Each structure stands twice: as C-alpha cells, then as structure tokens.
A and B are shown apart, each in its own frame.
Chain A
Amino acid sequence: MHSFELVKPATIQDAVAALKSDEAQALGGGQTLLPTMKARLAQAEQLVALSGVAEMHGICVDDDGRICIGGATTHATVAREASGYPALASLAGRIGDPAVRNRGTIGGSLANNDPSACYPAGVLASNATVVTNAREIDADDFFQGMFETALDEGEIITEVKFPVPEKAAYEKFLQPASRFPLVAVFVAKFSDGVRVAVTGASGDGVFRWSEAEAALSANFSPDAVKGLGDLDADDMISDLHGDGAYRAHLVSVMTARAVKAAV
C-alpha cells in the first residue's frame, strides 16, 4: 500500500470540505477501497473517513413510514436493527462475512456500485431515495452502469430512505469463491406494482427486469415468472463461474424463488 494521510471529520460539512481537495477520496467501510489500495491498484494522497460522522449512523423511520439508514451505517447494524423491513435486514445480514458486515457500510456499497454487490438490488427494487449532502436521487436515476453512479465528485451519501413494500425477498446465488452474488434478485411488491432488481448478472450493474415486473404485478406468483422465458444470454456476464446462458437462467430461478419467499 502506498502511504496516505487519513482525516476523520465529525460532521458532513467538514467531510464535504475535506473532499474538495483533488487528492482526497472518501473512505466508507473500506471493504473495496482498502484491498484495492493494498494490491496497489489504487492510491490516494488523503482518505476522508466517514465513519466519524455521527449524523450518518443509525436507522430511523420517517413520517412517511420509510426506513431511513444513515450512509455510514454498517451492514451488521442494518441486519440487526432494520426490523421494520425484514427483507432488507436479511440482505444486509447475508453480505460477505461477519468481518465485512461489521466494517462495510451502505453508503460505501452504493457509491462503489459493484455489479455484483447486494445493496444496489435492494435499493433499486425498493425504489429507495439516495440522499446526499447536496440532493435527493431516485434509485432509478442513481445507478448508471458498472461502478458508475449519479454521484458527483466529492458528493457523499448521507442517508438512504426505503419505502417498505407489502412483500419482499432477496434471493442470492453465491459465486463460490468470492461469495458475492453470481446472480441475486430482490423482489418488492408495493400496492401499485412489483419491482424486480437483479444484481450480479449484467456487466452494466444492477438492473430492473421489466417483463417480470409486469407479469408479477398482474399475478404475484412464481408461475408468472416461469412463463417469461430467460433474459438474453448475450446481455449477461460470462466468466469462469458461469456463462451468460447460465446467469440468464439463474435470474429466472432466483426471481421465482424470491416471489415464493416474499413475505
């Protein structure tokens, strides 16, 4: 690892100020950034740790009944405390291993937008709102391709607000080495329709499966998915762990299982 300076601001304001420098980079839980730096694939003159920002920690419920999670809240905390949204708590409780869950944060995961990360599927399927120091961004606008988001340089995710669906579930099929999702699907049934978000499958990152959403909005049952046929294999990631056809098939299987599991 190249050497760097670490600053740990206590407020969002100070963090935003620190990130104005060209050499500075935000540090969430460090579960991606630090291994990348250790492998000397990334370097930064200054890391701005967000873990010291007290107002970015914790979970609450707002006046609209939304579950609001501070951007620096760890996966372990969400797993333990987001009882108002069991499917989301379950997703958080299955990310990585205990070490990852005790360090990794929701803001860090979303800002990184790894195409195989879990949280993007939960956020997109839930139609959550990503709150930053500057604005509020709809989930549909936030994810813009592999490792790409709507965030501007130096913009910090301070909070994520999740509307709680009537029913929801997250079904994950593990890549056997990394234990990231090979394919995972979050299904959320709201009163006005069903949202289906898929992670792990596409090189463009998390996406909504609109055909499945339409079918499930009409008939929320696993059978509704089975009639759809698989997605186009050419649009899926193909690698050592599974080709596009396999991933496309898994999207159907995991979607049907999520519907079945949704409570």
Chain B
Amino acid sequence: MPKDTGIGASPKRREDVRFLTGKGRYTDDINVAGQAHVVFLRSDVAHGRIKSIDTSAAEAIDGVVRVFTAKDFEGVGGIPCGWQITDRQGNPMQEPKHPILAEGKVRHVGDPIAAVVAESASIARLACEAIEVDIEALPAVVDMKAALSDGAPKVHDDLTSNLCYDWGFVEENRDAVAEAINSAAHVTTLELVNNRLVANPMEPRVAVGDFAAHDQSSTLYTTSQNPHVIRLLMGAFVLGIPEHKLRVVAPDVGGGFGTKIFHYAEEAFCTFAAKQLERAVKWTCTRSEAFMSDAHGRDHVTKIELALDADNNFTAIRTETYANMGAYLSTFAPSVPTWLHGTLMAGNYKTPLVYVNVKAVFTNTVPVDAYRGAGRPEATFQLERVIDKAARELGVDPVDLRRQNFIREFPYQTPVAVEYDTGDYDATMDKLLSMIDRDGFAARRKESESRGKLRGLGINCYIEACGIAPSNLVGQLGARAGLYESATVRVNATGGLVVMTGSHSHGQGHETSFAQVVADMIGINEDQIEIVHGDTANTPMGMGTYGSRSLAVGGSAMVRATEKIIAKAKKIAAHIMEAAEGDIELKEGRFTVAGTDKSLAWGDVTLAAYVPHNYPLTDLEPGLEETAFYDPNNFTYPAGAYACEVEVDPETGQVQVLSFAAADDFGNVVNPMIVEGQVHGGLAQGIGQALLENCAYDENGQLLSASYMDYAMPRAGDLPMFQVDHSCATPCTHNPLGVKGCGEAGAIGSPPAIVNGVLDALASGGHNVGHINMPLTPARVWAAMQG
C-alpha cells in the first residue's frame, strides 16, 4: 500500500523548489568581497618540453594581479593519488608527480602551464593570450598498446616506462584458469573497447579560494562530491594546511557523475593563491575547458575469454585489459580498473575460476578516473557481451544460458574476493520477462521488417558492488582512506532536527529521502527535519558521495545516530513519567509507558533536554545531539535484468531504441520516485555511451570531440519511455536499512543490452556480426553490415 510519508513514500523532492526556481546556491553564485579571478593558460599540444615562459607582457596588462607558473610552487606538493595498486610481482605501481602547474613538460592538451590572476576573468583571459610559451613538441603517445611498445616516448621521463601497473587477480588462479580454458568444451573470445567518456555535468567546475588574515585560515568553495576528502588531500598532501585551519564548502552542486569526486589542481591553486595574495581567487571553468580538464571515464581495451563445459556450464573466465590512466593519476584512478572491476567479473554467475589481468597505461591524454559505475560497467559489459556471443555460437537461448549459470545460494563467495550477501537473479529475470512480452517479439520483428527495418531484442543481467566500503578491507587493497560515513543528529529544544551528514547530494535528493528515514524512525513530520551537508565546518568527517554509497553508508550512520538520540530521549521520558526505561515506547512522535495511559509528546522530551528542570542530571548530560560513524562490513550488491528493443535502419545504420525495461533489486527502497529517477538518469547515460558518446583523440593527442559540436550527448528524443521496476527486493543483510544503492545501476546494465539488441537485429537481416565497438554510431553499424 503506498504510504504518504516516511520510508516507502514518494514525496516530491524538497530541494527541487529552489533548483527549479533559480534559487539554488551553486559555487559560482558565491562571490567574496574583493575577489580576483584566475584563468589558466592550457597546453594546446599533447606532449612537449617547456623551453621558456615569458609572462612580462601579461603582467604589464592593466588589471593583472599576478601571473603564476610552476616556479611559484616550489616546496608545494603535487596532487596526490588516493589509491596504491600492487602489481603482479608485489611491487607498488609507478606513481608520477602531478604538479599544480606544468613543470618542465606538458603532458596532455589542457595541461595548465600558467595562471593569471586579475581583477576580472576577462582581463585574465586577455593576459593569458599575452603569455609567450616556447614548447618543443614531442611525439605523443595516445594508443595504449603503442605506449607500452619498446622505444615509445615516455609521458614521464623519470618513470621506467608508460606502464603504471600490471595487475593480476586472482594471481594464484592464473594457471588453473589457463588450464580450464585449454581443456574447455567451448571457448568464446571477444575483443572490445569500453569507450572513453566525458562526464559533462550541467554545472562546470568552479573553485573560490579565500584566506582570512585575522586567523590565518583558508576556505575553499568548490564543486565537489566530497568536501572532506578534498580538505584532507589538499590540506595534508598539497598545501600543508592543517585541517583546523582549512574549511571546504561544496554547496549546491549541479551534477557530478564521478568527475567531481577528485581533487583538482585548480582547487589547490585557488586556495594557494588566495593565501599568497590575501584576497579571494575565483575560477569558473568554461565548457570547452571542462572537456580537456575534467577527468574522463572508462577507456578500457579488453580481451575476454569465456570457457564452457559440454553442458554449457561456465567453467572459467580470463580477461586482459588495457586501462588508460591518461597523463597523471587522478585521485581514485588506479582503483577503477582493479578493485572496482576485477571483483565484479563473476557477475551473476557461478563461474568457479576467474583471472583478470589489467595493465594501466600512461598516455598523453586527460586523466581518466571514476565515472558513474566506475569499473563495474566495464566488467558487466565484457561479461554480458561474451555470454551473448557464446549463446549465439552455441545456438542456445541467451536467457537460458544465463539462468543455467545463475548463482542461487547466498551468501555466495565469488572467486574474485567479494561475497554476495543476498540476491535473487531468477526473480529479476522473471520480472523482466513479464514486462517485455518476449513471446510477442517475433510479431513485432515482422512488423518492423514490413517497414524495411531490422528489429532486435537485447537482454542481459548485471551486478554491482555498492555501499563502498569496509575500511579494513579497502586498506588492505591499497586505499589511502577509510570509507565509512558519519552523521550528527542535532535535536533542537522545540523538537526540530538537523541532520549533518558526510554524504553529499548533487542531484540524488538526499534532503528528501534522508528526512523520510528519520521521520519514520521518530514518527514526526518530515518538515521538522533539515538535512545539512557539504561543509566541513558543520559536519563531522565525511567520505562523500560516489559508488551508490550515500544511503547504504551515510544513511546507516544517520540511523545509528538517530538510534542514539531515541535511546537518550527514552531515558529522559522515563524520568519524567517516573517509569522504567524499558517500558518506554516511541510511536508516531509520542512516548508512552507500556501498560499505562501515560504519554509525552516528542517536543516535551526535547524541551526537557534543553530546559533540564525535571531531568536525571546526575545520570545524563543535558542536550540532545549524537554523532555516529558507520563502517560497512561488506559491499552491497544491487543486481537486475535489463532488456531493450531496437530498430536498425539497414540503409543508414541508424539505431532507434524502441523500448527499455529494467528490473532491479535495490533491496529496500526509501523513496520509489527518486529511485526511478536515478534509474532513468543512469539509463540515459548508459544508452548515451552505447550509441552516442565518444571522447576521441587523434594520433597527435589532439582532442577531436572537444565540444558539443562533436561530442554527442543523449537527448530526450534519443530515448524511449522507460519501464522500471524494483519490486524484486532482497534486502541487504548487513546495513540497518536493508538498502543497496541505485545510483549507478542504469549506467552499468544498459550498454550491453543495447549492443546485444543491435547485433540481434543485424543477425535477423543475415548480418552475423560478432561485435561492434561503442558508440554504435550509424557509420559503425553500417560499416559492420558491409562485412
């Protein structure tokens, strides 16, 4: 039965009022009295040696405050990497320095060379053009395999090669996997590319650095998904500012999709320059600049082999992946192709042996890091494509082949370290099939053929690891941070609450859904609860929002803190009503004494906490404020089954997505409307990757898709109406809400469905095409049909 309030209800998102009426407060809306503006001069060559920089003409321009180059950053740290990978030989990855402004060399188009601080951005831009830079162009390395060949130009002269690491997982299984593949009844092999993407949040990045001379403290306002992480990385590793002298604020943020997780040079620059100049310094990224400075996503080249026995049981999987790191290591870049990818290679299937090899490679391109799904879409894409190919080769139904190999017993220990706590892959597949009328597909295909079109049906499963992550585990895996979350619940005297959470909301609707949870627990109205986030000055240590972790980890911390509040409030209520603490019940915002008609309102007790006249002062402190840190003891494992029908125009290769259905198991759901919206957004991005989006470089390292003229974003007209279902819920067994996370599922599960569907359509027209690399542009589909 639909609820009106609390967990399971779908109230409209409270934050949307300000977003939709132009009242949001974004970083670019923040202006500090006396602020100056910075514009970065960026490299227009992919690889080159800086022979000289002459800033004198720029400095002479009226309104220029100061021009910075690398020499101004002597003694300042580089941008740190947050995750260290250990390679197959047990050695740490190669980790080059990432300076704030280029030192000696430029390593990608967009690499900042100099920064002009001026009275206005317009003056700064003009002055940038007056800087004379002499760069000796060097040959660029763009292709990953070429970058690893003997004699390839080195992106970093001080490293031994362009190889960041060569990672094997599970290394001990390497020989057993090889043996299983050699002795298999059938092996399906597939080589594929997971295309490089640009995240393109609607709001470009912005940073405002400020410095208070009176107490020598720094403040950074920034477009971040995790302000505390930025404070720690920038304060401790780059600028040497202690955390108590550094405040980081991430106010309303207009979309992140991963690319706003990372600590960027521009943030450090603004904070540094503000202190040097004793005046605020603001940077607003242009869209063109974003294309060449926001961390990109994906960019894997993979060979996958799936071994099957004579009864079509999966016996082994082996993959070899080249993962592009770009020119420098972005904050979490090394973890994406390894621990966020290799650990998901078992998928929804009971394959006993898995071996994943990943070679991470430096190239003269923009750094690559997490993008919605981060590693898990790459794993899902390989697996669900190779299974479809195997089904075609073996002449078996692709759904039957999947079902035959489904994991059915939980908890399930995979051969790739993680243990799935719960799931029901038959249930989501059954639900999906009930949504798509598979039996009617043949008739629909005929109807398409009557119009000269080829119709295809693509089906696949996915699983992801969310609720990131147990700190002790990730510590062993090379993380240089813990991945708990924190919350403080502050109850005011009159009964209203402020929840200060380390999770950050930049489109996810936390202010609505988090309030629903607390309202449900106490039995008060949601409008008595304020959710505060994004400011290190008023929230405890937080690890931020990514990896579909906010509700599972941040929400759990909030639940724990609220439980402490309720426990203390019951003590106060017991004292006032002269009853035993164990007899106090809290229901619908009232405290009652079991077996009596005594009761107190929530507000009576909160008032007593702050006006403690009748109060157990000898046993209990006044006030009502509690903090909890929650460290998950496992990942969560959302999973599901997706299907789409596509139509291909055989004359042009144009693909149209006619329908898309998603049956997800997200465990318990707090706000079904928000969950649906998250799935819609993920599907749009996944379909965008499959059909449209392509971040491409030429052989000289020039970015070919450097604007919306060439980088195709999905638009409403490219997408069908979505059918979304999340009724197959197997609640997470290890967090208090039983939630799993829903933010990335759509982007993870949809690309293989689209490609499977297009190849099915082509096959129906007699074109047996093994694979087409994404995006499946009309030109690529048409070329594949020509054979």
The 4 closest A-B pairs by CB, nearest first: A177-B712, A242-B779, A176-B712, A178-B709
Taking CB atoms and an 8 Å cut-off, the chain A residues in 143-182 that contact chain B are: 173, 176-178, 182
CB of B767 to closest CB in A, whole Å: 15
- Give the docked Cα–Cα distance between A245 and B710 (Å): 20
24 inter-chain pairs at a CB distance below 8 angstroms, sorted by A residue, are A40-B129, A173-B652, A173-B654, A173-B778, A176-B692, A176-B712, A176-B777, A176-B778, A177-B708, A177-B710, A177-B711, A182-B778, A240-B694, A240-B704, A241-B777, A242-B777, A243-B783, A246-B778, A246-B779, A246-B782, A246-B783, A249-B782, A250-B652, A253-B651
**Chain A contacts for B288, CB-based, 8 A:** 39
Q: Is B607 an interface residue (CB 8 A)?
A: no
B710 touches A178 (CB 8 A): yes
Residues of B260-296 at the interface with A, using a CB-CB cut-off of 8 Å, are: 288
Report the Cα distance A39→B692, complex, angstroms. 24
The answer, among A177, A178, A241, A253, for a CB contact under 8 Å with B779, is A241
Residue interface bits B444-462, CB-to-A below 8 A is 1, else 0: 0000000000000000000
Do B652 and A240 touch across chains, with their CB atoms under 8 A apart? no
Neighbouring A residues of B653 by C-beta, 8 Å: 246
Q: Which of B126, B288, B710 has the most CB of A within 10 A?
A: B710
Q: How far apart sit A39 and B289, CA to CA, in the bound complex (Å)?
A: 11
Interface residues on B, range: 20 to 34
Complex contacts, A243 vs chain B, CB 8 Å: 779, 783
Does chain A have a CB within 8 A of B70? no
Interfacial chain A residues near B712, Cβ < 8 Å: 176-177
Binding site for A on B (CB under 8 A): 125-126, 129, 288, 651-654, 692, 694, 696, 704-705, 708-713, 777-779, 782-783
The B-contacting residues of A in range 35-82, CB under 8 angstroms, are 39-40
The contact string, 1 if C-beta is below 8 Å from chain B, for chain A 170-203, is 0001001110001000000000000000000000
Q: Establish whether residues A177 and B705, one from each chain, have CB atoms under 8 Å apart when the complex forms.
A: yes
Q: Hey, which chain B residues are within 8 Å of A40, CB to CB?
A: 125, 129
**Which among B651, B652, B709 is the interface contact of A177 at CB below 8 angstroms?**
B709
Task: Tally chain A residues at the interface, Cβ within 8 Å.
Answer: 18
In the assembled complex, the Cα of A146 lies from the Cα of B782 at a distance in Å of 27
Nearest residue, chain A, Cβ from B782: A246
Bound form: Cα–Cα A40–B288 in Å: 12
A2 CA to B128 CA in the complex, in Å? 13
A253 CB contacts on chain B under 8 angstroms: 651-652
Which B residue sits closest to A246, measured CB to CB?
Answer: B779
The answer for the CA separation of A176 and B696 in the assembled complex, in Å, is: 15
Please judge, given known A-B contacts A176-B777, A178-B710, whether A240 and B705 are in contact too, CB under 8 Å.
Answer: yes
User: How far apart sit A241 and B778, CA to CA, in the bound complex (Å)?
Assistant: 8
Cα separation A199 to B288 with both chains bound (whole Å):
27
Distance to closest chain B CB from A238 (angstroms): 10
Residues of chain B within 8 A (CB-CB) of A245 are 783
CB distance from B653 to the nearest CB of A (A): 8
| Nearest CB in chain B: distance from A62 CB, A | 37
> In the complex, A239→B704 CA distance in Å?
9
CB-nearest residue of chain B relative to A183? B652
Q: Give the shortest distance, in Å, between A248 (CB) and chain B (any CB).
A: 12
- Using A173-B778, A182-B778 as known contacts, list a sample of 10 further A-B pairs with CB atoms less than 8 Å apart, ordered by residue number in A: A39-B288, A176-B777, A177-B708, A177-B711, A178-B709, A240-B696, A240-B710, A241-B710, A242-B777, A242-B778
Assembly CA distance A245 to B777 (angstroms): 15
CA distance A111 to B652 in the complex (A): 31
* Complex CA–CA separation, A99 to B194 (angstroms): 35
Determine the distance from Cα of A158 to Cα of B543 in the docked complex, in whole angstroms.
62
A241 to B713, CA, bound (A): 14
| Distance, CA A238 to CA B126, complexed state (A) | 35
Q: Which residues does chain B contribute within 8 Å of A242, judged by CB atoms? A: 777-779
Residues of A within 8 A of B709 (CB): 177-178
Q: Which residues of A contact B654 (CB under 8 A)?
A: 173
Q: Which has the most chain A C-beta neighbours within 10 Å: B129, B288, B779?
A: B779
State the CA gap A250–B696 with chains docked (Å): 23
Task: List residues of chain B with CB within 8 A of the CB of A241.
Answer: 710, 777, 779
* A173 CA / B782 CA spacing, docked (Å): 14
Residues of B within 8 A of A239 (CB): 704
Q: How far is the CA of A249 from the CA of B126 in the complex (A)?
A: 46
Q: Which of A107-133 contact B (CB under 8 A)?
A: none
Please report the C-alpha to C-alpha distance between residue A2 and residue B123 in the assembled complex, in whole angstroms.
10
Q: In the complex the two chains form, what is the Cα distance from A42 to B460 in whole Å? A: 49
State the CA gap A176–B652 with chains docked (Å): 13
Nearest CB on A from B521, distance (A)? 48
User: What is the bound-complex CA distance between A162 and B361, given in angstroms?
Assistant: 58
**Closest beta carbon of chain B to A258's beta carbon, Å:** 13
Alpha-carbon distance A2/B130, docked complex (angstroms): 14
What string of 1s and 0s marks CB contacts (under 8 Å) between A216-258 and chain B? 0000000000000000000000011111011001100100000
CA of A245 to CA of B653, assembled, Å = 13
Cα(A177)–Cα(B126), bound, Å: 30
Are B652 and A178 neighbours in the complex by a CB distance under 8 Å? no
Which residues on A sit within 8 Å (CB–CB) of B126?
2
Q: Which chain A residues lie closer than 8 Å to B652 at the CB level?
A: 173, 250, 253
